[in-house]
Each structure stands twice: as structure tokens, then as C-alpha cells.
């Protein structure tokens, strides 16, 4: 895989999935597509990471899943956010925002100077 893609920090994938699913019930393939589109191809999640993550979130009851039909009429497993998933997402994105601002503050000046 190309070197332009960044590795995701631990735990971030869960947050990205939750955010994606928050927009409405969606199946696994669509989640992968959306993540790639929204991040302008920076984030590419291989199926080998995506599906275990989805199943983990389902077992932890942050996501709920049911089988349904896609627009093309095919059967697929659709995930949606549960209440505790929503709470988790809010807390997670808040703390992520804090962290990235802090990291930005530290890294910011170093780029121009030294």
C-alpha cells in the first residue's frame, strides 16, 4: 500500500466508524467507502481491520446491527448507532479535539523555526 496513507492511532478507528455510522444505518462496505471519500483517500481501512472493529463495537453495544436490503436490492448487514454509542462518540470526539489542538500547539511553532 502507498506510503501517503497515515497509520491510525490506537482507538481512532472506532471513533471514525462511530462518526460515520452516526449519519444513519449503513453497511460495512459503505463505511469503508465513506471514510476514504471524506478523508480524501488519506484514511483507507482494509477489511481485515474494519470488520473486527465493527464486531467489537457491536459486542460492546455501541453499535446495533440488522440485516436489510441495499438500494441495489442486495442483502447486507446494516449498522446503526445505539444510545451508548452516541454518548461514546461525543466523549471520544471531544477528547480527540482537545488532544489534536494540544498536539498542534506543540508541533505548530516547530515547523517555522529551528
Instruction: Kindly give, in sequence order, each residue whose CB lies less than 8 Å from that of residue 38, ignoring residues fewer than 6 positions away.
Output: 20
DSSP the chain: --TTSPPPPTTHHHHHHHHHHHTS-EEHHHHHHHHHHHTTTS----HHHHHHHHHHHHHTTSEEEEEEE-TTS-EEEEEEE-HHHHHHHHHHHHHHHHHHHHHHHHHHHHHH--
Return the range that interacts with other proteins (CB under 8 A); candidates 14-22, 67-75, 92-100, 104-112. 67-75
**86 touches other proteins by CB under 8 A:** no
Interactions with other proteins, residue window 23-62 (CB under 8 A): 27-29, 32, 46-48, 51-53, 55-56, 58-59
**22 touches other proteins by CB under 8 A:** no
Give least dist CB 8 to other proteins, A.
16
Return the range that interacts with other proteins (CB under 8 A); candidates 17-25, 74-82, 94-102, 103-111. 74-82
Return the range that interacts with other proteins (CB under 8 A); candidates 10-18, 21-29, 84-92, 95-103. 21-29
Amino acid at each position: 500500500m502507498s506510503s501517503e496513507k497515515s497509520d491510525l492511532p490506537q482507538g481512532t478507528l472506532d471513533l471514525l466508524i462511530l462518526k460515520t455510522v452516526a449519519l444513519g444505518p449503513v453497511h460495512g462496505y459503505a463505511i469503508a467507502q465513506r471514510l476514504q471519500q471524506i478523508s480524501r483517500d488519506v484514511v483507507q481501512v482494509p477489511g481485515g481491520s474494519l470488520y473486527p472493529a465493527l464486531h467489537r463495537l457491536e459486542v460492546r453495544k455501541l453499535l446495533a446491527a440488522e440485516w436489510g436490503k441495499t438500494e441495489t436490492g442486495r442483502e447486507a448487514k446494516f449498522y446503526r448507532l445505539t444510545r451508548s454509542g452516541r454518548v461514546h462518540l461525543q466523549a471520544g470526539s471531544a477528547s480527540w479535539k482537545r488532544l489534536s489542538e494540544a498536539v498542534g500547539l506543540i508541533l505548530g511553532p516547530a515547523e517555522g523555526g529551528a
